[in-house]
Structure 1
Amino acid sequence: MTPDATEDVMTFADLGLRPELLKALSTLGYEEPTPIQREAIGPLIEGRDLLGQAATGTGKTAAFALPILQRMPEGGGNGDPFALVLVPTRELAVQVSEAVHRYGRELGTRVLPIYGGQPIGRQLRELQRGVDVVVATPGRALDHIGRKTLRLEGLRIVVLDEADEMLDMGFADDIEAILQETPQERQTVLFSATMPPRINSIARQHLTDPVRIQIERETAAPGEAPRVRQVAYVVPRAHKPTALGRVLDVEAPEAAIVFCRTREEVDQLTETMNGRGYRAEALHGGMGQEQRDRVMGRLRSGTADLLVATDVAARGLDIEQLTHVVNYNVPSAPETYVHRIGRVGRAGREGVAITLAEPREHRMLKTIERVTKTRITVEKVPTVADLRARRLELTRSALEESMLEDDLEQFRVVVETLADEFDLMEIAMAAVKLAHEASGAAADEEEIPDVPLRPEREGRGGRREQGPAREERRGRGPSEGMTRVFIGAGRTGGVRPQDLVGAIANESSLSGRDIGAIEIADRFSLVEVPNHAVEDVISSLRQTTIKGKRVTVRRERFNSR
């Protein structure tokens, strides 16, 4: 090695961080900054505004958290927050809050996560005592600002984390209202995995001469396999559960996330996969925070190996041992696909992104390929013969490991006794059969039809539009399994579909994708929600504001029109 061979290796100490932060990073085992941290920490410490494009898993939380802690006054502030971090979901609020707390432990930094679904009394008490960093979802932050319990006079830094996700969830107006309440001389930081025009619009309006950073996903060197292997299987809807089980049996992931569209689909698929022998856990908006924490604890400890989740519930989760991401349905937007597959293939590790596509979803799959500039290989679903071969291979590997590592001497007498009557090969085959059956390999004799992708036909069998873009349906009853909720605010109050989606997704246990048709009249709105979530939605909306006002919320009465 030449004397200057290590000159290009940057450490956290090279970034000028204070000793307390370096000690915390060393304790956590962080040795050198990631690319986004190398590029962002210096300008942020200098007080520059920043617009950063980086996917989940690139280390962007530390990229903004460390400069916040570096710039914080000695001994903390005067009780008002020094920094406000806005995030799209409650899970990400908790995760970012925990990270800031770990980094700032030596400084005694007071961090508070604020999100819907948590008792507001505790939040009020902590805010009254004084905090240094608030990590909040937009709706709950705006609620506290309206109550005068979140004081922003002393605010110096605002971070918009996963800004594209917040816009997709309908929080544009909330973000705008929050930024209007912050001091003019604040430092503003915006991170986003994708850069749609709306993000650039926010940056032009609210960032001053920002440093622009774009961290591309790590690509393989010429001749090397890509870090994330992307593959799709074409499967008729009725055969999807079987196909998923078969693909996972062949892939044998260390840990995997399967993304579904609805909570009902999550629950059904979790039950199916558990019946297939997987240690599967469900994660969706219908679960309380304590229940979600238990699920994530099981996954991180290795007592569960498969997480079946909705997008909103899984946003912001960082699972170290994750090897596979599965799209149980083709995502409705390329940006969603980018966010999902960004969870694997990190830090030089290989990952696999699997998509189960119905024959009619050809167009969306091609759109994702075009936008992401990556090739998604379409493969045939493993056959029954493929699955049997794979299971026999696993049995062979288990036997080989046993012969190399286990003490088998105690079983010699059994083999010698049987050898008096049977051939040794027959004895070995019988032992392998028993070992194979004892492995719990389920019989799977159903062949899945081999079908090609075909273009979608407009107007027939097409996918229902999601979120705010869904079509208003007038004069018809609610969809099957759905109930309409009456909300006493409409067109004359400036209410738009995204306002309703954002309020429900932020304050209740539902995600934007769980919400059905939306009808907005002049003085009221009707929103379809799943039957099981009606009371949760009504209770949550009664405790918040829509367009800054408290409104009547109840089940629809059929004569309300």
Structure 2
Amino acid sequence: MSDSEEDYDISKSIGFASGLQADSDSSSSESESGDYDVQDEILSSSEDEEPVTPTVKSKKTKEAKKAESKPTVEAFPSMEIDGDSDNDSDTAAYFTAAPTKKVSVGTFSGLGFSKFLLRNIIKKGFKHPTPIQRKTIPLINSGRDLVGMARTGSGKTAAFVLPMLEKLKIHSAKIGARAIILSPSRELALQTLKVVKDFCKGTDLRTALIVGGDSFDEQFKYMMSNPDIIIATPGRFLHLKVEMKLDLKSMEYVVFDEADRLFEMGFAEQLNEIIASLPPSRQTLLFSATLPKNLVEFAKAGLQDPVLVRLDADTKISENLQMAYFSIKRDERDAGLAYILREIIQIPPASPAQLKYLKESDQNQMESEEEEEDNKGKNSQKKGKSKRYAMRLPPPNELPTEHSTIVFTPTKHHVEYVTSLLNKLGYATSYIYGTLDQRARKDQLYRFRCGYTSILVVTDVAARGIDIPILANVVNYSLPGSSKVFVHRVGRTARAGRKGWAYSLVSENELPYVLDLELFLGRKLLLTADQMKNPNVPVSYTDRMVMGSFPRNRLEMHSEEVTAVIENDYDISCQRDVALKGEKLYLKTRSIASLESIKRSKALLTKDDTINKGAMWDDQHLLFGASAEKAKDELLALFGRHKQQETVFEFGNKSGAGYQLMKRRWKEVNGVKRRAQDKAEIRVKEKETFGDELDDLITNKKDEDDEEVTVEEKAAATAGNATASEADLSSTFEEVTKKKSFRDPNFYMSHYDPNQSQEKGFSLGGDTSFAEGARNATFDISGEGAEFQQKQGMKWDKKK
């Protein structure tokens, strides 16, 4: 370990009365993981409370433990992933109820931990255990297999780490690891390692981090040092197990952290092979935020008489989480993100100090990579890491920055595009996605944790893989297809009794997913029009899902700014095009919303007030108060309906002759209007009184007039002077209809002289007129021989 690292981690030089020494691989593991100070949960309590020193209880001997060993279990069966289904009906019947044992679990001292463990707990700042810790730790200490369900950020990591350290206590000279913790992602494994190291200070327990992306040689050295605790991802650990032919018969303690995520990422086959290699006498713990059907089958096969501890029945998200949903058009998503960051969260632009550090950090990283390429030695790696991690992380109970925000995007292409766009807008931004290099992932997360960047842009791979103790805001650039993924996203904020905000951008095609989320969370959707019906009722952003749009004028300003940035930067423009193509592929793989939600979304999107009951999904959001745009439209409509009664003769002149003239004229016009209105009212009353009978009488009277002849007609018929009816005329004579022409005889000028025949009649020189005689007498040689000339023109060549 270099001098810089010794000065950096002062806690390693502190000695304890127990005289136990730190594990030998502490420095090498810590150099690989980076100096992150990670805490699983922040607990609020009085700072003046004195720590309670517990009495150390007597522990069972190894012979007694062997005597209480569990029965032999058959090999682990193979299984397939059933998808993201809910709990089946036999879940409650399979898991036994947690026994109610009266133990003082209000403090960590009442849970029966050793003195060294309590000392480390107090140093971490923990005073009281969280609900999941109070429920699970006594059961784990008693040796039971357990399935723990609680929402993200409830303290699950400490719930299985503390009993594990209490059980292991000191390093064993026997060959073989005694505990293994399997995590779905490298980040989560790294953070679990830090929690383990913080709680096992003062002991000689050895740890090993086995994750993908790190050097195989280093991991071989870790395994050769005979570690007590292995923290690993399933894929890399299974690879190492096969390469080194590891024997796992010494395992006493097995933990599956974020188990549902392990199955979602496709680790079922690896888990089958790993668990089949474990001894039947092990204690198995399974912690998860949700419990799908395939996970229940896994628990039935891999756990023995497990206890189900469930704390997610009352609420799926924190009761302190405030949520706001903003309706946007598809091409305004970037402008909506800029509006949230600048107008709502009010994140300041990057300071000169931040920009200077980021520039130096990038330069040091490039130099470090060049040194590693030239020199593959270990010293160059340590030198690079000491340069990059020269600043300690803030305490766990403090925000990285006042406006620390995570932005979730659907694909890694969106991560690159949004990060470049926000950097161009002046923000200090970090980013993480699945295929990013391991060292770059650590470096980006370190920048955000230290406060050098205020925004972290990630994909769903980091929704439950990044543990940041306290976070201010979460922004969903687009909604996920699963409501459970949404819960995992927003679980990053509003932790440990603190309040937090989750902002979501919703387009038209994402509205059905919001309605699915409404049913999943049990929080009713609230639109602006619904709130206006009861304006005196306060708006609750924790109990309702409030939806609305941005103020139109301010959103257009941000849209113009974003458009200008994209048009002026060719790289960002190309990244946007790639992100749009990636989004098309993402939408094809996204799960479909329920049919009922799709029907409801169509009713909200329609403009017909009889269908949506006047509630529009894109009315201005309640966060922004009354809509100035809507007030302007109402005022213009009022002006449009207003009719001015005064004329130019009356305006401003109340005594002139024009005014008197128009006064008499208005009197006459009003009288006519009044009489016309009275007649209309009479017709309405008659129609209401007689109804359809009056119309029938009028119709019958017309028919009688057509069929019957009058008395005068009968008298004329007797005298022989009867007038023929139209029917007689049409049946007797053939009607001659003149052919309609477009010519109007009053204005049409014919090509021929209309008096031509008359002039011929008056002519004395015969039938020919002067014009005809002159035309016949004219001799012209210009056309001589024209009848013998060959006609010019194009001919079709048959050969071609």
2:127: which partner in 1? 31
Secondary structure of the residue that 2:162 maps to in structure 1? helix
Post-superposition CA distance 1:43-67 (Å, at most 9, x none):
1111110101112211111100011
Question: Aligned AA for 1:132?
Answer: D
> For 1:107, what is the secondary structure of its paired residue?
coil
The equivalent residue for 1:479 is none
In structure 1, what is the Cα distance between the partners aligned to 2:429 and 2:341?
Answer: 12
Give, as a single letter, the amino acid of the residue that structure 2 aligns with 1:127.
Answer: M
Measure, in 1, the Cα distance between the counterparts of 2:206 and 2:440: 25
1:246 is aligned to 339
Range with bigger deviation, 39-48 or 359-368: 359-368
User: What corresponds to 2:571 in structure 1?
Assistant: none
Partner-residue secondary structure (3-state), 2:588: coil
Instruction: Output the CA distance in 1 between the equivalents of 2:235 and 2:124.
Output: 33
Offset at 1:91? 0.7
With 379-388 and 342-351 compared, the bigger mean Cα shift is at 379-388
Secondary structure of residue in 2 paired with 1:189: strand
- Matched with 2:417 is 268
The structural deviation recorded for 1:149 is 4.6
Hey, what's the Cα distance between the residues in 2 that align with 1:444 and 1:86?
Answer: 46
Q: CA deviation digits over 1:501-559, x for unaligned, max 9?
A: xxxxxxxxxxxxxxxxxxxxxxxxxxxxxxxxxxxxxxxxxxxxxxxxxxxxxxxxxxx
Matched, 1:312 2:490: no
Separation of aligned partners in 2, 1:247 and 1:73: 49
SS at structure 2 position matched to 1:377: strand
Unpaired segments ≥5 residues, structure 2? 1-51, 53-102, 348-402, 525-544, 564-583, 592-800
Aligned to 1:153: 249
Matching residue within 422, 430, 440 for 1:281: 430
**What is the identity, as a one-letter code, of the residue corresponding to 1:260?**
T
Identity of aligned residues (%): 34
Letter in structure 1 aligned against 2:410: R
- Residues 87 and 328 of structure 1: CA distance in aligned 2, closer, same or farther (over 3 Å): same
Once the two structures are superposed, residues 7-34 of structure 1 have per-residue CA deviations (whole angstroms, 9 ceiling, x without a partner) of 9881111110111111111111111111
2: distance between equivalents of 1:323 and 1:217?
Answer: 25
Q: Is the Cα–Cα contact under 8 Å of residues 284 and 309 in structure 1 kept in the other structure?
A: yes
Contact kept, 8 Å, 2:208 with 2:227, in 1: the verdict is yes
Q: Which residue of 1 aligns with 2:264?
A: 168
Is the CA contact (8 Å cut-off) linking 2:324 and 2:547 kept in structure 1? yes
Aligned to 2:405: 256
Aligned to 2:307: 211
**d(CA) in 2 for partners of 1:54, 1:152:** 29
Q: CA deviation at 1:126?
A: 0.9
1:198 is matched with: 294
Larger strand share, 1 or 2: 1
Counterpart AA for 1:322 = L
SS of the residue 2:465 aligns to: coil
- Residue-by-residue CA offset, 1:121-178 (whole Å, 9 max, x unaligned): 1111110111111111111121122223543110011111101111111111211111
Q: Greater helix share, 1 or 2?
A: 2
Stretch moving more, 370-379 or 279-288: 370-379
Q: Determine which structure has more spread, i.e. the larger CA radius of gyration.
A: 2
User: Structure 1's 133 and 75: CA in aligned 2 closer, same or farther, altered over 3 A?
Assistant: closer
Check whether the contact 2:157–2:192 (CA below 8 A) recurs between aligned residues: yes
Q: Which residue of 1 aligns with 2:167?
A: 71
Contact (CA 8 Å) 2:171, 2:206: kept in 1 or not?
no
Map residues 401-416 of structure 1 onto 2, 5 A cutoff: none
User: Which secondary structure state, in structure 2, belongs to the residue aligned with residue 70 of structure 1?
Assistant: helix
Q: For residues 137 and 462 of structure 1, what CA distance do their matches in structure 2 show?
A: 26
Aligned residue among 508, 514, 517 for 1:359: 508
Distance (Å, rounded) in 2 between the aligned partners of 1:269 and 1:374: 30
- What is the CA distance between 1:231 and its match in structure 2? 2.0
- State whether residues 24 and 105 of structure 1, in contact with CA within 8 Å, keep that contact through their aligned partners in structure 2: yes
Give the alignment's Cα RMSD to 1 decimal: 2.8
Decide whether aligned partners of structure 1 residues 204 and 374 sit closer, same or farther in structure 2, where only a CA change above 3 A counts.
farther
Q: Partners of 1:282 and 1:445 in 2: how far apart? A: 20
Aligned position for 2:204: 108
Partner of 2:223: 127
SS at the partner of 2:176?
coil
The structural deviation recorded for 1:387 is 9.9
Q: In the TM superposition, what are the counterparts of 1:48-87 in structure 2 within 5 Å?
A: 48-76=144-172, 78-87=174-183
Amino acid in structure 1 at the alignment position of 2:249: E
Q: Matched residues in 2 for 1:386 and 1:240: separation? A: 10
Cα deviation, residue 385, structure 1: 4.1
The yes-or-no answer on 1:44 pairing with 2:140 is yes
Query: Match for 1:312: what amino acid?
Result: V
Alignment of 1:290-439 (within 5 A): 290-375=439-524, 376-385=545-554
Match of 1:112, SS state, is strand
Aligned-pair distance for 1:75?
Answer: 3.5
Give the Cα separation in 1 of the matches to 2:187 and 2:590: 22
Q: What pairs up with 1:484-499 in 2 under 5 angstroms?
A: none
- Is the 8 Å Cα contact of residues 412 and 459 (structure 2) preserved in structure 1? yes
Q: 2: CA distance between counterparts of 1:256 and 1:20?
A: 37
Give the Cα–Cα distance (whole angstroms) in 1 for the partners of residues 279 and 590 of structure 2: 36
In the other structure, the counterpart of 1:229 is 322
Name the amino acid aligned to 1:113. Answer: L
User: Aligned-pair distance for 1:266?
Assistant: 0.2
**Could you say if the C-alpha distance between residues 226 and 187 of structure 1 is closer, same or farther in structure 2, counting changes exceeding 3 Å?**
closer
Partner amino acid, structure 2, of 1:13: S
- State the shift of 1:241 in Å: 1.0
Report deviation, 1:74: 3.5
The answer to whether the 8 Å contact 1:56/1:316 transfers is no
Q: Which residue of 1 aligns with 2:589?
A: 465
Work out whether residues 253 and 282 of structure 2, in 8 Å CA contact, stay in contact via their aligned partners in 1.
Answer: yes
TM-score between the two structures when normalised by the length of structure 1: 0.66
* Counterpart position of 1:489: none
Q: Secondary structure at the match of 1:464?
A: helix
| Distance in 2 of aligned mates of 1:445 and 1:281 | 19
- The residue number in structure 1 matching 2:65 is none
SS of 1:109's equivalent?
A: coil
**In the aligned structure 1, how far is the partner of 2:425 from the partner of 2:332?**
14
The superposition leaves residues 171-224 of structure 1 with CA deviations (integer Å, 9 ceiling, x where unpaired) of 11211111111111111100111111111111122111212111238869xxxx
Mapped partners of 1:151, 1:461: distance in 2: 43
Residue identity matched to 1:381: F
Q: Is the 8 A contact 1:91 1:315 kept in 2?
A: no
Partners of 2:561 and 2:552 lie apart in 1 by 10
The alpha-carbon distance between structure 1 residues 124 and 149, as it changes in their structure 2 partners (threshold 3 A), is farther
Report the 3-state secondary structure (helix = DSSP H, G, I; strand = E; otherwise coil) of the residue aligned with 1:303.
coil
SS at match of 1:362: helix
Alpha carbons 2:463, 2:488 under 8 Å: kept: no
Task: Name which of structure 1's ranges 31-40 and 62-71 shifts more when overlaid on structure 2.
Answer: 31-40
TM-score by length of 2: 0.47
Alpha-carbon distance in structure 1 between the residues aligned to 2:237 and 2:442:
22
Q: Residue type of the partner of 2:549?
A: K
The question of whether the paired residues in 2 share the 8 Å contact of 1:101 and 1:109 is answered with: no
Q: 1:77·1:132 contact (CA, 8 Å) conserved in 2?
A: no
In structure 2, the CA distance between the partners of 1:364 and 1:443, relative to structure 1 (3 Å rule), is closer
Instruction: Show CA shifts across 1:64-93 (max 9, x none).
Output: 001111111544352411111111001111
